[in-house]
Amino acid sequence: MDRKKFIQTSGLGLGVALIPGIANSKQLFEKSELAGKLNPKIIKDKEGEVLNVLGDVQTHKLIGGETDNQIVEWVDDVEPGVGIPPHIHTKEDEIFRVIKGQIEIMVAGKTTVLEAGDTAFAPKNIPHSWNVVGTEKAKMITSAFPAGIEEMFKELAKLPPGPPDFEKVAKICGNHGISFLKQ
């Protein structure tokens, strides 16, 4: 059998074989333990709730209410020089994936510069910080699990513009299990 004929006949056979599985996938989801809790979601690049959190412009893509509080994910779109000082989370782990630019990140005392395609993991109870370095704006996807930290970001985004009042920031963060380290 030649290649063209094989692809034509196997493609048709494969399509017929998969149709029942595709049709049953919705039924399988509806019968799963997550049915009623989770709804599938597709988020385009420009979609999501945008918050300016002390200069860290975040677009929240998934929040706890959509993921059974398993995970929250946002995109940071940040100017050079913007970052967060050393701090510790007591409730959530974080993953940082750089899409564009350069992020200097410190996790557990080890500092490195992440570039597009690089990832860092900061488990809870481990000190970490990050700062945009270089001359270009950085874009980073950040995930935190379990979810909940998004509520803190909403509070921080309500603070007045200008230099932040560190005592207010530390109090809000402390209410959510995050403490800053003395420098």
What is the pTM assigned to this prediction? 0.80
Check if the beta carbon of residue 79 is closer than 8 Å to that of residue 132.
yes
Where are the chain's structural domains? 1-36, 49-180
Ranges under pLDDT 50 in the chain: 16
- Structurally, what CATH architecture does the domain formed by 49-180 represent? Sandwich (2.60)
| pLDDT value, residue 161 | 85
For residue 157, how far is the Cα from the chain centroid?
Answer: 17
pLDDT digits (tens, 9 = 90+) for 78-128: 999 999 999 999 999 999 999 999 999 999 999 999 999 999 999 999 999
Q: Where are the beta strands (DSSP E) in the chain?
A: 49-53, 56-62, 72-78, 83-89, 93-100, 102-107, 110-115, 119-122, 128-133, 138-145, 178-180
Check if the beta carbon of residue 78 is closer than 8 Å to that of residue 132.
yes
Check if the beta carbon of residue 72 is closer than 8 Å to that of residue 149.
yes
| pLDDT value, residue 36 | 65
| pLDDT value, residue 8 | 63
